[in-house]
């Protein structure tokens, strides 16, 4: 089976969801995660703090620099993610569709490299 990252694209320039909308999103994403677990597709899920909590470590000239904030100046940031196991991209897209509906945000689907590490 292949592994896929389902990345939630969070628009930080949009107004925050209401308490009720947040509860609905949390309930919906919890149900999708439970469905993934039941289907044997779930590997890991995680939510992230907003980009203002980010520290970027950049290499250069044999040393690194550390700066606050996201690497890219964009309104859309990574808000959370699922790592899933699927037979193919079509199956991953079915899960992504369910995730998008549950959390009300765009979902980026990206396959992992098929290499065996160590």
Domains of the chain: 2-111 (3.30.70.1060)
Give the DSSP H or E segment for 90.
Answer: helix 89-103
- Percentage of the chain surpassing pLDDT 70? 92
Q: Which two tokens stand for residue 1?
A: 């089976």
Alpha helices, DSSP H, located in 13-66: 19-39
What confidence score (pLDDT) does residue 42 get? 96
Distance separating alpha carbons of residues 42 and 3, to the nearest angstrom: 10
Q: In this predicted structure, which of 2-11, 29-38, 82-91 has the lowest mean pLDDT?
A: 2-11
State which H helix or E strand residue 7 sits in: strand 2-11
Q: pLDDT tier at 114 (50, 70, 90 boundaries)?
A: confident
Query: What is the mean pLDDT of the segment spanning 37-55?
Result: 92
pLDDT of residue 56: 86
User: CA-to-CA distance for 92 and 87, rounded, in angstroms?
Assistant: 8
pLDDT above 80: residue 118: no
The CA–CA distances, whole Å, from 41 to 29, 91, 113 equal: 15, 10, 17
Rounded to an integer, what distance in angstroms lies between the CA atom of residue 18 and that of residue 14? Answer: 12
Write the CB contacts of 94 (distance below 8 Å, at least 6 apart in sequence).
none
pLDDT at 16: 87
Average pLDDT of the residues of the chain: 90
């Amino acid at each position: 089976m292949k592994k896929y990252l389902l990345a939630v694209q969070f628009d930080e320039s949009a107004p925050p969801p209401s308490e009720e909308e947040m509860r609905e999103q949390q309930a919906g994403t919890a149900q999708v995660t439970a469905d993934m677990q039941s289907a044997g597709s779930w590997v890991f899920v995680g939510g992230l703090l907003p980009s203002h909590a980010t520290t970027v470590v950049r290499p250069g000239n044999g040393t690194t620099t550390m700066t606050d904030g996201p690497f890219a100046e964009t309104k859309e940031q990574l808000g959370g993610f699922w790592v899933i196991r699927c037979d193919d991209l079509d199956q991953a897209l079915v899960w992504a569709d369910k995730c998008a509906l549950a959390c009300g945000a765009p979902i980026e689907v990206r396959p992992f490299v098929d290499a065996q590490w160590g």
